[in-house]
């Protein structure tokens, strides 16, 4: 039986390989008969894609609280309009960033209250939780280096932030993974993409086949 009706999220710092792994996992799942919906946050709805531009643009001046609310608005719309219906129809939903980004970036990186960020996540998602979260762990300097090559030196609003921000994000991700070991698969992202993909696929099959 093909894997169906699961929400799998990819998390990690800038340039860790989330989008790359999302594409590779999609190929594997589709080759094994699953219906796959690929999403990214912020994005995946008309509202989300518009707010993505605001959230990513280095020209945007946003208070940390405003930023947190905009991410939550994108997520609430994505969950209601897209994710819940897709899961109900049996799709495997792959999401490039989700609730853990809010805790890692807005609480860890920006220093907002973690309990409030978790409440925002509950507001946006209700009872919905990922069935599996893959955390791609990489030294921030390496990830930012990869992103900079990819973007030809046009950093977004997060990529321009100093190393301390990205290190706090990484530390918060580690804490989250430690707190929920049954939900997280933590992988060393400093390996060739195909090796990372093999490890993800192995775990997806082990859990859901």
Ligand X SMILES: Nc1ncnc2c1ncn2[C@@H]1O[C@H](COP(=O)(O)OP(=O)(O)OP(=O)(O)O)[C@@H](O)[C@H]1O
Residues 12-41 touching Mg ion, rule: CB under 5 A, are 18-19
Q: Among positive and negative, which fits the CA dihedral 203, 117, 148, 155?
A: positive
Identify which of residues 120 and 143 has a Cβ nearer to ligand X in the complex.
Answer: 143
Least Cβ distance, residue 118 to ligand X (angstroms): 22
Q: Among positive and negative, which fits the CA dihedral 199, 105, 9, 185?
A: positive
How would you label 48-68 residue by residue, b for 16+ Cβ within 10 Å and e otherwise? beebbeebbeeeeeeeeeebb
Least Cβ distance, residue 119 to Mg ion (angstroms): 27
Least Cβ distance, residue 193 to ligand X (angstroms): 4
- What phi and psi, each to the nearest 5 degrees, are found at residue 95? -125, 125
User: Of these partners, ligand X, Mg ion, none, which one is at the site of residue 17 (CB under 5 to 8 Å by kind)?
Assistant: ligand X
Residues 6+ apart with CB under 8 A from 154: none
Identify which of residues 21 and 77 has a Cβ nearer to ligand X in the complex.
Answer: 21
Identify which of residues 113 and 163 has a Cβ nearer to ligand X in the complex.
Answer: 163
Q: In what order do the strands lie in the sheet with 7-12?
A: 36-40, 92-96, 7-12, 132-137, 184-188
Give the count of alpha carbons within 13 A of 30, CB side only. Answer: 10
User: Of these partners, Mg ion, ligand X, none, which one is at the site of residue 58 (CB under 5 to 8 Å by kind)?
Assistant: none
Least Cβ distance, residue 85 to ligand X (angstroms): 25
Binding stretches for ligand X (CB under 6 A): 12, 14-20, 146-147, 150, 189, 191-193, 196
Residues 60-119 touching Mg ion, rule: CB under 5 A, are none
User: Of these partners, ligand X, Mg ion, none, which one is at the site of residue 147 (CB under 5 to 8 Å by kind)?
Assistant: ligand X
Comparing CA positions, the residue from 15, 11, 50 lying closest to residue 155 is: 15
Least Cβ distance, residue 96 to Mg ion (angstroms): 6
Identify which of residues 196 and 204 has a Cβ nearer to ligand X in the complex.
Answer: 196
Least Cβ distance, residue 208 to Mg ion (angstroms): 24
Identify which of residues 6 and 166 has a Cβ nearer to ligand X in the complex.
Answer: 166
Identify which of residues 6 and 18 has a Cβ nearer to ligand X in the complex.
Answer: 18
Alpha-carbon distance of 157 to 193, in angstroms, equals 26
Instruction: Give the chain's count of helices (H) and strands (E).
Output: 9, 5
Alpha-carbon distance of 181 to 76, in angstroms, equals 25
Residues forming contacts to Mg ion in the complex (CB under 5 A) are 18-19
């Amino acid at each position: 039986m093909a894997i169906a009706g699961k929400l799998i999220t990819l998390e990690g710092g800038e340039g860790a390989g989330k989008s790359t792994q999302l594409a590779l996992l999609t190929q594997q799942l589709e080759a094994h008969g699953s219906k796959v919906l690929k999403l990214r946050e912020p994005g995946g709805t008309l509202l989300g894609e518009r707010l993505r531009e605001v959230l990513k643009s280095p020209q945007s001046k946003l208070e940390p609280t405003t930023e947190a609310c905009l991410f939550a608005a994108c997520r609430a719309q994505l969950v209601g309009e897209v994710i819940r219906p897709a899961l109900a129809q049996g799709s495997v939903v792959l999401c490039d960033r989700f609730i853990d980004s809010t805790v890692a970036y807005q609480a860890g990186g920006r220093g907002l209250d973690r309990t409030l960020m978790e409440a925002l996540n509950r507001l946006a998602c209700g009872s919905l939780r990922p069935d599996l979260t893959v955390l791609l762990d990489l030294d921030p300097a390496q990830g930012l280096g990869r992103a900079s090559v990819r973007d030809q030196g046009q950093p977004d609003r997060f990529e321009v932030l100093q190393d301390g921000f990205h290190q706090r994000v990484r530390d918060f991700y580690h804490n989250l993974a430690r707190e929920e070991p049954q939900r997280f698969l933590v992988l060393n992202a400093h390996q060739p993409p195909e090796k990372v993909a093999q490890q993800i696929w192995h775990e997806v099959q082990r859990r859901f086949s």
